[in-house]
Structure formats: C-alpha cells, structure tokens
Structure 1
C-alpha cells in the first residue's frame, strides 16, 4: 500500500502479537497521561494457589488516575462456592485503595458474574449487546473507600 505522500506501507493481520501489544500499551499510556495529566500506576494481580502450587484462582487489573479496572477474575471450578472469588476481589480492591484508587470498574458477560459483582457493591452502568449466545457485556462501577483496604 502506498500513501498519498508516496510512502510504502505494509499491513499485517494475524494472531495476537505480543510485541505489538506492548508497544500499543506504551504509546496509549503516554497519550492518555498527556491528555489527562493522570499518570499510569501499573497493574495488580492477585493469585491463590493450593499446597501443590496449582492455581486456585486469580485476578488481573490495572490502575490509572484513581481508577482500578478489573480485567479478569477466575476461580477453578472445584474451588467455586467457597468464597475464593470474594477473597480475591477484596484483596484487589484493598491493593487499589493502597495505590490511591477511589473507584473500580469491571465488565462481565451475563452468563458469568454480574450478580457476584453486584453483591460486592458494583452498580450496572451500561451494556454492550450482541455477545455470542444472546448474551450481553454488563459494565459495572463501584466507589472504593478506606474500609475496602482493610
């Protein structure tokens, strides 16, 4: 492909490219920081393992400008209904508060865990329709307080 000013460009499409992802995160973080004045604070992870070192569950999240965004929370099927999801979420919220966050956001499909997050004080703020199987993404928000850090 040649641009209007005669520069030849190549377009590549394929599977996830870790190098591209890392570069996009770096570039977008710099752009967002310049636009908002809110510096990136990094990422959070919470991991629970059993006595054999096997993963029981975990969470990944990011923090930016006082906001904690939960990317993923998962608990192994044989360990569900034992409070591990709540423990993982509470640990992440506490870490977010320690890092200066006063609010959190998460999205969950309707067949996953919206009710779980609602039990933990998250309110629905919107939906993205058209998820496979007739489902929606439920977008949720919560104000964090110092009591979430204890």
Structure 2
C-alpha cells in the first residue's frame, strides 16, 4: 500500500471539482492553489489561496468523500499526494493517529468555513463582512 508520493502540475488545471469524488488529498510544497466555491449565476468565488505546507482537500476524510470546494493551481505546484483510502485505513488501525488527523483536518475546516463566510460577505453582502483588511 502506497500512502503518498510526489506530485506536480502547471498552473490552470483543476485539482478538484465540487461534487467529484475525493480519492486523494495533497500537502502543498512550492506553488499556489486557489480554493473556490460555486455561486449560482456567478463565477466561482476564490475563498483562499493556499501555499507551502497547506492541506489541499478535506473532503477525503468524511463520507461521502466528495469535494465541497474547487481547487485550481495558480502557479506551478509541487505537492505530496496522499491516497485517501489508505490514510483512512491507517487512521482506523491506529486510533491515536486517527484522532490527530481528525483534529488537524477539523481545524483546517473551521478555518476554511470562517474564510468562506468572510469572503462571500465581502463579495456579496451590502456592507461586506465588517472585517477590516
């Protein structure tokens, strides 16, 4: 069973698409990846741009294992690519690892939820998010 390997890609290609299966995830090395969400009747809204050390993809951990955000490389990207099923199996077999991975992904999700809320308010609410910056 191979858990991870090196991955690379040029700017432009979609790394993930909303509603698609999430069989893998990445930890970014050099490069930038934009996370976006669909907004009906509009272009996808970029929520956050990820860089070195950031987790690209959280949906792989939770059923039904489908992407909830899209991701697109905005510069050439190198990353560690992980087989989601193999990592989930490893987490089930090692509860301490499973707890640590679950806590890490949970913190990432909480941050992304806040970032999404703030960004969408900035884009579409009459007075923005109210958060300076």
What TM-score, normalized by structure 2, do the two folds share? 0.27
Greater relative contact order (Cα < 8 A, sep 6+) = 2
Select the structure that is richer in strand: 1
